[in-house]
Structure 1
Amino acid sequence: MAEPPRDVFRLRRDWLSVQEVVDSVSSSRCGAVSVFIGRTFIILLLFLRAGRATREDQVEGRKVIGLQYEAYEAMVQSELSRLAGALRARWPSLLHVCIHHRLGWVKVGEASIVMAISSPHRQDCQEAIQHAVTQLKANAPIWKKEVYDSQESSWKENSECSWSQRGGASD
């Protein structure tokens, strides 16, 4: 009997387990599992401004210490289901799709999203995982707020976000 495709989507307020996500897509029918781990990070690019090197992780003397994620959870679940359907339509060989995303406080260095997709061959799931990340960032109603060491904060948009490209809210 053929194993039916399985989708697992979780919005969690605690630590994300990469092994749990990988286990949820593993199958004896699949020779490939592609994984994406998105971490909360600070961009540490150095650039020159007025002849001095500055760090992009410093915003007006404030350092980012973490992100606060919020979501419209029912809509996120609906969007993830739609995304899984679109992935399977484009790459019919995909078997299982699992996406776990953090909500609430996420310190710099911790995973904010873990995603895995399985298929019989690597090319389909590698392409699908890249597409899934881009689509999730563009369409899922998940918002993030940068929190600084000064305890000030600022809402941030994903550049892929479809509503920001139509002139929505800005940073």
Structure 2
Amino acid sequence: MPTKIILVGPMGAGKTTIGRMLAQELGLPFKDVDHMVVEQAGADIPWIFDMEGELGFRKRETQSLLASIDGESAIIATGGGIVTQAENRKLLNLQSCVVYLATSVEQQYQRTLKDKNRPLLQQSDPRQVLEDLMAIRRPLYEEVADITIETDRNRPKAVVNQIISHWNKYA
């Protein structure tokens, strides 16, 4: 039986919100890979991108993913780009149930519009950036996912219930 539920999906899909709710519902610890990166670096994500570039951030992200999957059962929220690294895609499926929280580019855009903590979106046309990222990443999310849940029209509680229903199939 998988010992962890790992949430993947694009920025703005609700991974952190749903992850926290899911952890509370199941009585499991919650781990957020992006927060782990920030804590370990002692700096926010934009600073890491500025100083180390995306490659530096991705290395830190892999280290945090390794730390999050080591040990006890947990609910783990990942960053939107975690699937871009082949090593991470292999790690995601180790004793875990991977849930792809799918959302539309429009929903992502609405949810991230005012968030200055997303370095990839600090461009003149963030909607186009989201579309470009989705074209690259969607097949990777689908590759690692055990289950896909649409979040656009679902309240977080409904998504949590769907995940729990799937998780119970493993029990």
Same fold (TM over 0.5): no
Determine which structure has the larger helix proportion and give its number. Answer: 2
TM range (shorter): under 0.3
Flag the structure with larger Rg.
1
Structure 1 length as normaliser, TM-score? 0.27
